[in-house]
Amino acid sequence: MRVVLQRVNSASVTVGDDVVAAIAVVDGSVLAVSQFTLCASTSRGRRPSFLSAAEPRRAKRLFERFVEGVGSHGIPVETGVFAAYMQIALVNDGPVTIVLDG
């Protein structure tokens, strides 16, 4: 699993015409969005390979476990919609991006 953490002032997820999740300047809130494209390999040719991504059912369970784990520490968590086409809007708070591989 790969996690990309970004410090933001605000963020929201829209699916279709509905905002399904949003956070604003709140200390320690998390907006978790599944993104299988983080597993893309571009080492062979122009088209990315997603062979290292988990199959959808397993990926959904891993994502749900991650969300539950974060929430179990008392951290407010909002989520997008797993496997949906989502539009993500965010305002970064400084140049802070951390990539965790596990």
Spans of all domains in the chain: 2-101
* Catalytic residue list contains 37: yes
SS3 15: strand
Q: Which amino acid is at 101?
A: D
| Tens-digit pLDDT profile for residues 69-88 | 999 999 999 999 988 999 99
Given a contact cutoff of 8 angstroms between Cβ atoms, the answer to whether 31 and 21 are in contact is: yes
Active-site residue, from 37, 42, 79, 97: 37
Q: Tell which CATH classification among 3.40.50.620, 3.40.1160.10, 3.50.80.10, 3.90.79.10 matches the domain 2-101.
A: 3.50.80.10
| Tens-digit pLDDT profile for residues 14-69 | 999 999 999 886 677 899 988 866 667 788 888 888 777 788 899 899 999 999 99
What is d(CA 66, CA 79) in angstroms, rounded to the nearest whole number? 11
Quick check: pTM over 0.75? yes
Q: For residue 87, give Cα distances in angstroms to 7, 11, 51, 81, 96.
A: 18, 11, 24, 11, 21
Q: What is residue 25's predicted lDDT score, i.e. its pLDDT?
A: 67
